[in-house]
Amino acid sequence: MTTQQPVDAQAPTPVETIELERAVVKHWKAPISYAVLTLVALILMVVLGRDGDATLRLASRGDLFALPDAVLPARPTGIVVVILLAALTALSFWAAATVRRLGIWLPIVFGLLFVIGFLSWSGAGAMIPIAGLLFATVGLSVPLIFGAMGGVISERAGVVNIAIEAQLLGGAFTGAVVASTTGSTIVGVLAAMVAAALVSMVLAVFAIRYFVEQVIVGVVLNVLITGLTNFLYSSVLTDNPALNSPERLPKLPIPILEGIPLLGPALFRQSIIVYAMYIIVPLIAWGLFKTTWGLRLRAIGEHPLAADTVGIKVTRLRFWNVTLAGAVAGLGGAYFTLDSNGAFTREMTAGLGYIALAAVIFGQWHPIKAMAAALLFGFASALQQTLGAIGSPVPSEFMLMLPYIITILAVAGFIGQSRAPAASGKPYIKQ
């Protein structure tokens, strides 16, 4: 039908009251996910429940005031937690059925309850140092967060960044070598950023100038940088250990703040890279959504043709933003060799670049959410290490699998919404 006709012409019989049909879309995926998790909790904490008390040590040395240990009897705690989880799940079902929106508090409370229940169950008869767990969480999350920020910037600009792993690895290697030769850790950090930015430039040139499939470039770059750093490590660094012994960035505790129980040591007894992260992440979030730069960046990632029409130089802007993304990821690389480890080793990033990519997706391409996702993955990893030390009832491999499974569920639409920037992965060919 091409011509518009009045509605009356199609409905000759007059109806007295016209009921407009409302489109009601009910989302059942979230409640179903909660139900499955509650079931898991029920099986673990009640059916397979363990006896004994789990001692959560909340205090650490240097606290302003000491918190007492929290002693949780495993089985009763598990039962209480499962009942609360079931209540939250029921609430979620009710909200879905009546098409109500519940706040962000529901997943947070649900997650916290689940973690408390899980800790009391897995730590039954043992002591879990919570402050240490949080410290390890931050430590393991830092490279993930920087990598995820690199991913967010690049993908928001419309270039898929599978090469986060390569950027981290290249940054780690260069940081170690340059810091060792110059004797300055700050120069090392800057060199790491430059190296990762160079890796990013290769990605940008191939993706933007030559229209090569971006995922292919990313994967090949990962292989290339792995091979290159392995080659240089075996042929140069092993013979010249002086090239691979950088000074480590000093820990700079912030007075007073470091004494906050639980969080103080984890957040405020860190090196300059971690403090830089506290500034960079909000800065990126603010920049992306509140500045001209961010608006243009998002425009070229969502609809480059429209951006081009209003005079934004799509190709140039993409190129420099992908480069910037590499520089940010390079900070994460520097963290490996100049903060956490103190020397470069073969393939030391060990697939963390892919977890950072997972954090980008699970964080819905939003800097703050991606950081939260990275912290969650870092927590899972730290928990696996801690539980491994006290003898965990869950095989550590299952904890290690967690980030990947969560990501699969996220991209499959079971957890949250994952919608990539519309033009991400598509080259812009100007006519």
Partner 1 sequence: MNDRPRDADDPIEPGAQPRVGGSPDSGESPTVVHAPEEAEVAAPAVAPPTDDRRVDEDDVWGSAFRRIMSGNLVMALLAILTSLVVGGILIAFTDERVQETSGYFFARPTDMLAAVWDAVFGAYSALFQGSILNFSRADAGFAQLIKPLTDTLNFATPLIAAGLGVAIAFRVGLFNIGGRGQMLWAAAAAGWVGFSFELPPVLHVLVAIAVGIVAGAIWGAVAGALKAYTGAHEVIVTIMLNFVALWFITWMLRTPGLLQNSENNNPISPPMPESAILAPIFGPPFSLHWGFVLSVAAVVFCSWLINRSNLGFQFRAVGYNASAALNAGMDVKRITMLAMLFAGGFMGLAGAQQVTGSVTTGFTSGIDAGIGFDAITVALLGGSTPWGTFFAGLLFGAFKAGGFRMQAAEGVPIDIILVVQSFIVLFIAAPPLVRAMFGLPQPGRKSRRQRRDEAALRTMTEQQPKTEQKGEQA
Binders of partner 1 in range 149-178 (CB under 8 A): 162
Structure token pair of residue 135? 């410290």
Q: Is 46 in the site for partner 1 (CB under 8 A)?
A: no
C-alpha 5/C-alpha 309 separation (Å) is: 35
- Binding range to partner 1, per CB under 8 A, among 3-11, 65-73, 226-234, 332-340: 226-234
- Minimum Å distance from CB 208 to partner 1? 11
Instruction: Select the residue interacting with partner 1 from 232, 260, 272, 312 (CB under 8 A).
Output: 232
User: How many amino acids of this chain bind partner 1 (CB under 8 A)?
Assistant: 44
CB 152 within 8 A of CB 366: yes
User: Least distance to partner 1 from the beta carbon of 380, Å?
Assistant: 12
Please give the order of strands across the beta sheet that includes 127-129: 70-73, 53-57, 127-129
In the bound state with partner 1, the residue whose beta carbon lies nearer, of 230 and 345, is 230
In 3-state terms, what secondary structure has residue 129?
strand
Q: Helix (H, G, I), strand (E, B), or coil: what is residue 262?
A: coil
By the rule CB under 8 A, 397 interacts with partner 1: yes
Q: Is 227 in the site for partner 1 (CB under 8 A)?
A: yes
Instruction: Give 23-63 as a DSSP string.
Output: ------HHHHHHHHHHHHHIIIIIIT---SEEEEE---TT-
Does 231 participate in binding partner 1 (rule CB under 8 A)?
yes
Biggest distance spanned by C-alpha atoms of the chain: 92
- Report the C-alpha gap between 141 and 335 in whole angstroms: 11
Considering the complex, state which of residue 295 and residue 350 has its C-beta at the smaller distance from partner 1: 350
Q: Is 357 in the site for partner 1 (CB under 8 A)?
A: yes
- For the bound state, the minimum distance from the C-beta of residue 365 to partner 1, rounded and expressed in Å, comes to 13
As a whole number of angstroms, the distance between CA 152 and CA 3 comes to: 46
Among the listed residues 84, 177, 314, 420, the single contact to partner 1 using CB under 8 A? 420
Site residues (CB under 8 A) for partner 1, limited to 316-335: none
Residues in the chain: 431
- Contact region with partner 1 (CB under 8 A), list: 149-157, 258-266, 321-329, 349-357: 349-357
CB pairs under 8 A, 24+ apart, for 236-240? Answer: 237/177, 237/344
Three-state DSSP at 418 gives: coil
Contact pick of 64, 186, 234, 290 for partner 1 (by CB under 8 A): 234
Q: Token pair for residue 194?
A: 């430059």
- The nearer residue to partner 1, 90 or 411, going by C-beta atoms, is 411
What is the b/e burial string over 301-312, where b = at least 16 CB atoms within 10 angstroms of the residue's CB? bbbbeebbeeeb
Q: Looking at 141-149, 173-181, 288-296, 391-399, which segment touches partner 1 (CB under 8 A)?
A: 391-399
β-pairing, 70-73 vs 127-129, is unpaired
Selected range binding partner 1 among 115-123, 181-189, 243-251, 356-364, rule: CB under 8 A:
356-364
Site for partner 1 in 236-255 (CB under 8 A): 236, 239
Q: From the list 235, 292, 309, 417, which residue makes contact with partner 1 (rule: CB under 8 A)?
A: 235
3-class secondary structure, 364? coil
Give me the 188-217 binding string for partner 1, x by CB under 8 A, dash otherwise: --------------x---x---x-xx-xxx
C-alpha distances in angstroms, 103 versus 91, 106, 198, 310, 411?
Answer: 12, 6, 42, 37, 22
Residue 232 has a CB neighbour count (10 Å cut-off) of 15
Torsion angle, alpha carbons of 267, 405, 75, 88, to 10: 90
Mark the segment that binds partner 1 (CB under 8 A) among 121-129, 224-232, 260-268, 313-321: 224-232
* 210: nearest Cα among 35, 381, 427: 427
Stretch that binds partner 1, among 12-20, 81-89, 185-193, 220-228 (CB under 8 A): 220-228
- Site residues (vs partner 1, CB under 8 A): 162, 202, 206, 210, 212-213, 215-217, 219-221, 223-224, 226-228, 230-232, 234-236, 239, 351, 354, 357-358, 361, 395, 397-398, 400-401, 404-405, 407-408, 411-413, 420, 429, 431
